[in-house]
């Protein structure tokens, strides 16, 4: 493996190289810090880089791994990662992408950070995000936009856009983000990586600055399904986060047959032709892998968009009021976030209660319909469009103009409302010459039940193995 390949190696490969002493955690950390120094000014993926902390973590990992009497903390030991900047980190500023928290330095780590540190991960820094996670473009009024590594004139998606861009550009091996209405899956789709939104509550959200507690989830982003599964196990406390050598890493089970549900409502009503073509091709691939495709009706899907908005608007405004920031410091918010916080003041208590009731009924309907149809997951596109250009607020599909923000949210909000796991995996590229590279990434979304380790990740892994390797932009 050449030096230029190392930033894009899998976590598993890097862990093996460490244990064979082919490379060291300090060498890899310096390599990635140099890449960040060179590439981040254009991408704007990181808001805070922590070179001294990263090298201290790397030296400790190297000492533990390379000494005969040392300690092997498992497959993340010595692996450089990043964190979305709404996750509290002791002694490292946590801005939530906002002017209000520009200089906030927490006194303690969030539990998810403690798990990563216990696993021996190396923290490179905190990634850019849509202000207070309240948007899907990652065009940040205070710190500037995150740019898509495939085309710097396009958005990376949000709100975990810095995390996705950093992973896709080889500026870390994995990142941890948050997802309230697609904030992990949207940027994963637009940047051509894998992003997992776990089931609600599967990963401890304490000391993560919230958007909407009813909908918020914390989850991993990486370049492969296996790497996402590895990080998920650690941050969800599924073992493997202490004293577990890489050689004991659990395998994702191989599937021979599985059933995927194609919802007849909502998901396929508004799709760009290029996304539809890539998605249709992916379905054919899944069938060759043993998938049975089955149409499934979930009528309440049409009501999820309004219900999700009402819940998020009310809960976000409530948090910012309780924090003493809104409306007293309204002028310090970006215009888009300020407008949404104002919208939260206009949702009546009756409308909020109706939305919560709809949520309960939708969960019940989704679970019962999937059980009746005996489907292991739903399969749908992640976003109806590939990455839009910066500040492209409207997109035209089928002769009709749509809000870019609404389009990006549209297919992701249902999984948050239901509290079920969902992931986005790259399934191809647009064929038209939209960029200087071979098209833009398109994401396939799997929505399931229970633990993602049971069906979602194994299905995604089977699909990933059938695809040609992705050559990520290297410079």
- Main-chain phi, psi angles of 87, to 5 degrees: -100, 120
- In angstroms, the CA 216 to CA 132 distance is 12
**Angle subtended at Cα 355 by Cα 353 and Cα 361, rounded to the nearest 5 degrees:** 105
> Which one of the listed residues 98, 160, 183, 224 is annotated catalytic?
183
Note if the bond before 210 is cis, omega within 30 degrees. no
Instruction: Identify whether the C-beta of residue 342 lies closer than 8 Å to the C-beta of residue 224.
Output: no
Q: State how far the Cα of 448 lies from the Cα of 446, in Å rounded to an integer.
A: 7
Is residue 466 among the annotated active site residues? no
Q: In whole angstroms, what separates CA 78 from the centre of its chain? A: 22
Q: Which residues contact 58 (CB under 8 A, 6 or more apart)?
A: 24, 25, 26, 28, 29, 78, 80, 122
CB-based contacts of 322, cutoff 8 Å, min separation 6: none
160 is annotated as an active-site residue: no
Residue 146 near residue 387 (C-beta atoms within 8 A): no
- Catalytic annotation, pick one of 82, 159, 189, 224: 159
Residue 311: HSE in the Cβ half-sphere, 13 Å Cα cutoff: 26
Q: Retrieve residue 25's tokens.
A: 């955690």
Cα–Cα dist 419/409, whole Å: 16
Catalytic one of 24, 82, 84, 175? 84
Tell me if residue 183 is catalytic. yes
Cα–Cα distance measured from residue 403 to residue 392, given in angstroms and rounded to the nearest whole number: 9
Residues labelled as active-site residues: 84, 159, 183
């Amino acid at each position: 493996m050449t030096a230029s390949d190392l930033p894009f190696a899998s976590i598993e490969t890097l862990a093996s190289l460490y244990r064979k002493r082919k490379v060291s955690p300090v060498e890899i950390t310096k390599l990635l810090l140099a890449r960040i120094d060179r590439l981040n000014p254009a991408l704007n993926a990181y808001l805070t880089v922590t070179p001294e902390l990263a090298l201290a973590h790397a030296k400790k990992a190297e000492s533990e791994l390379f000494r005969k009497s040392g300690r092997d903390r498992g497959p993340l030991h010595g692996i450089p990662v990043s964190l979305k900047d709404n996750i509290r980190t002791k002694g490292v500023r946590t801005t939530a992408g906002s002017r209000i928290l520009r200089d906030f330095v927490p006194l303690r780590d969030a539990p998810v950070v403690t798990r990563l540190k216990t696993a021996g991960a190396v923290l490179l820094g905190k990634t850019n995000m849509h202000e207070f996670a309240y948007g899907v473009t990652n065009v940040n009024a205070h710190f500037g936009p995150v740019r898509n590594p495939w085309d710097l004139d396009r958005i990376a998606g949000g709100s975990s856009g810095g995390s996705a861009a950093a992973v896709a550009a080889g500026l870390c091996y994995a990142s941890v983000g948050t997802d309230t209405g697609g904030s992990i899956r949207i940027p994963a789709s637009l940047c051509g990586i894998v992003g997992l939104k776990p089931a609600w509550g599967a990963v401890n959200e304490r000391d993560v600055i919230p958007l909407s507690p009813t909908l918020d989830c914390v989850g991993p982003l990486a370049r492969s399904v296996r790497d996402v599964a590895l990080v998920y196990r650690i941050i969800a406390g599924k073992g493997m986060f202490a004293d577990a050598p890489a050689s004991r890493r659990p395998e994702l089970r191989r599937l021979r047959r599985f059933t995927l549900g194609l919802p007849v409502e909502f998901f396929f009503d508004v799709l760009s032709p290029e996304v539809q073509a890539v998605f249709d091709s992916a379905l054919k691939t899944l069938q060759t892998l043993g998938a049975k495709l089955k149409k499934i009706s979930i009528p309440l899907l049409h009501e999820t968009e309004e219900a999700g908005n009402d819940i998020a608007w009310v809960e976000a405004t409530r948090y910012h009021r309780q924090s003493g920031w809104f409306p007293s410091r309204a002028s310090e918010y970006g215009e888009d976030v300020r407008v949404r916080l104002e919208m939260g003041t206009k949702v009546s208590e009756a409308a909020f209660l109706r939305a919560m009731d709809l949520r309960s009924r939708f969960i019940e309907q989704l679970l019962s319909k999937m059980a009746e149809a005996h489907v292991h997951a739903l399969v749908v596109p992640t976003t109806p469009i590939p990455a839009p250009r910066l500040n492209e607020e409207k997109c035209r599909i089928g002769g009709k103009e749509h809000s870019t923000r609404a389009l990006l949210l549209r297919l992701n909000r249902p999984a948050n409302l239901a509290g079920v796991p969902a992931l986005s995996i790259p399934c191809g590229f647009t064929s038209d010459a939209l960029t200087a590279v071979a098209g833009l990434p398109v994401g396939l979304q799997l929505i399931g039940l229970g633990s993602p380790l049971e069906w979602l990740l194994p299905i995604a892994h089977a699909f990933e193995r059938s695809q040609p390797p992705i050559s990520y932009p290297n410079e």
